[in-house]
A and B are shown apart, each in its own frame.
Chain A
């Protein structure tokens, strides 16, 4: 189980390769990549800054992975979340989960993303034509996490 919070971009192929190397018991890997969109709430986004709470963010992500492991029969899981300055089309987040069968990998991957969005201390600030604004939390994200409770 790996958690990384970093400024640098990540290489999906290289990360998946690392996750599956040396374990031929893995039959499935599900992954999710989140990207910066150029349009949010009808405003053009020129740049996005991601802030986090060093220490707590890593701890919260590790706890989410641990919960996923308790809940499904997964072999390994990885979360990489970027912070700092990002541009539209940049990668923000990667979640990848390995398991023997696809069901556990799919479910755990979605569970991890839903919890990350509502429990891990990250905050987005967008630069738009109208100026800078903090992104508001969405009720739909809280609704998404409730289905796992």
Chain B
């Protein structure tokens, strides 16, 4: 089981801020996790499209598409940051 968090525009589009998920065995990294979520269709397909600038953090560290995803991880999806 992994914990998924969504922030800002993604949180609003998906209508949830967090969820517990049980991805299938072929989900091994950020790339395959994103692809799996995209297959939910609708807002998921749209917001997580490859052309969209989505950022991902694994266990609160910024992560690229090759970063491994393991049981128990906290994985966050969000738009580019705009603080300051």
Which A residues form the contact surface with B (CB < 8 A)?
34, 50-53, 55-56, 59-60, 81, 92-93, 113, 116-125, 134-137
State which residues 63-83 of B face A: CB under 8 Å: 76, 78-83
Interchain pairs with CB closer than 8 A, number: 69
**Known A123-B7, A134-B8; contact A118-B81, beta-carbon cutoff 8 A:** yes
Known: A53-B57, A56-B57. A137 touches B81 (CB 8 A): yes
Asked if B84 is an interface residue, CB under 8 A from chain A, the answer is: yes
Contact A137 B79 (CB under 8 A): yes
Q: Tell me whether B76 and A56 are in contact (CB under 8 A).
A: yes
Other-chain residue from B5, B76, B81 in contact with A117 (beta carbon distance below 8 A): B81
SS of A interface (majority): mixed
Count of chain B residues with a beta carbon within 8 Å of a chain A beta carbon: 16
| CB-based contact A137/B53 at 8 Å | yes
Is A123 touching B79 in the complex (CB atoms < 8 A)?
yes
List the A side residues contacting B7 at CB < 8 Å: 51, 53, 121, 123
Indicate whether A122 sits within 8 Å of B79 (C-beta atoms), given known contacts A55-B60, A134-B8, A134-B9: no
A-contacting residues of B (Cβ < 8 Å)? 5, 7-9, 53, 57, 60, 62, 76, 78-84
Indicate whether A53 sits within 8 Å of B82 (C-beta atoms), given known contacts A59-B60, A119-B62, A123-B7. Answer: no
User: Are the C-beta atoms of B62 and A51 separated by less than 8 Å?
Assistant: no
CB pairs A–B below 8 angstroms (7 shown): A50-B83, A53-B60, A53-B76, A56-B60, A116-B84, A119-B81, A122-B82
Contact of B82 among A56, A60, A124 (CB under 8 A): A124
Give the chain B neighbours of A123 by CB distance below 8 A.
7-9, 78-79, 81-83
Beyond A113-B84, A121-B7, A121-B76, 4 additional pairs, beta carbon < 8 A: A34-B84, A52-B83, A56-B60, A59-B60
